[in-house]
Amino acid sequence: MSRMLRRYLEAQADQVEAVLVAHRTPGRITGGTIGPRLIRFCLDPAPQTRLSAVRSLAEDLAVALKVPSLRIDRTHEGIILEFPNPEPRPVTLVSLWPEVAPLPPNTALLGLTDDGAPLLARLSSPEVAHILVAGTTGSGKTALLRTMAVSLALANRPEDLRLFCLDPKGRAFRGLTGAPHLARPPVVAVPEAIEALQSLLRLMELRDQKGESHPRIVVFIDEVADLVLQGDGRAAPGRNQQPTSIETLLTRLAQRGREAGIHLVAATQRPSAAVLSGVLRANFPLRLVGKVVSAEDARVAAGRAQTDAHLLSGRGDFLAVGGSAAPIRFQVAYIGEQEAQQQLAA
């Protein structure tokens, strides 16, 4: 830690305590952690100080600390105050890989948590199975998809894991071009995406009949809402099946795909009911939520209230939300297109 950063932390802790005293909600900063993008203060409140009273001072505290945003939460450590690190450091897949490799099978690297631990997602776990990634433009959704796909490819043999990439905008998965794990080149056109989903559905049904789940297949979808809207109408008939909408195809894969070794990782700006049905959203146990516009958007994206995802700073600042556990804040481990191609070709 630099001397300048140490002085900054001491001054910020004094400011927090001064604001709390001024509003008759006293407490002491007892410690904290310094993450790549965030600083977390641990607040020990006085016996008469209520959490709701501290939360109501979030804006006043942010003004006093001269930070763009401040998030207040309660954990097993007590009351936590989070705000941006004035000396942020980059988090990259290349720098993290030596620490985490070899990964367990079917496991993706997401990034680095606030306390400096690598965050992983094991797709074969029932608590994960399928992942919904949400956030506004600039939140880092596409970078997160690329990081997950590259880490899966680096950690698994092509005969053990295959990747399907559906990319309506044609930009998300160019870094995977030529990777041996790709079942086919990234799909851009909507008719081809429909055909790909129908073929996966037939494969799922065949595997169900045979009790098979190998190799694992991970379907990455960038801007799934755009894909659903562009394909709204009816998909072309598949073999021995009636015409089916894209959303219905995705829903069936989400409901039954895990046991057949098929997993969905879908990204969207806002998984609203107007675009993605509640049935489809309910089949994504793990939500990775980047910055959103409002508290209501945060509730829809995370599937629960009070995550404060609208206070995230963007550019790879995410929350992992799953089950009844507290959300985990992490910074995406970034890898660019050229670096991805180099890593996969090595």
Q: Is the dihedral of CA 113, 91, 310, 10 positive or negative?
A: positive
* pTM for the full predicted model: 0.86
Please give the angle made by the CA atoms of 156, 160 and 161, to the nearest 5 degrees: 70
Owning domain of residue 20: 3-84
Per residue in 196-248, pLDDT tens? 999 999 999 999 999 999 999 999 999 999 898 887 654 445 445 544 689 99
**Least trusted range by pLDDT, from 68-77, 99-108, 291-300:** 68-77
Count other Cβ atoms within 10 Å, centred on residue 33.
Answer: 16
**Into how many domains does the chain fold?**
2
Whether 148 and 46 share a structural domain = no
The proportion of the chain whose per-residue pLDDT surpasses 70, expressed as a percent, equals 96
Whether 110 and 183 share a structural domain = yes
Whether 77 and 193 share a structural domain = no
> Residue 40 in contact with residue 82, Cβ under 8 Å?
yes
For the domain that residue 42 is a member of, what is the CATH number? Answer: 3.30.980.40
Tokens of 329: 């804040």
Closest CA to 67 of 55, 80, 85, 54: 85
Q: Which residue has the tokens 């169900």?
A: 208
User: How far apart (Å, rounded) are the C-alpha atoms in residues 136 and 139?
Assistant: 5
Q: 237 by DSSP, 3-state: which? A: coil
Per residue in 287-325, pLDDT tens? 999 999 999 999 999 999 989 899 888 999 999 999 888
On the 0-12 / 13-18 / 19+ scale of CB atoms within 10 A, 105 is: middle
Whether 153 and 253 share a structural domain = yes
Whether 205 and 148 share a structural domain = yes
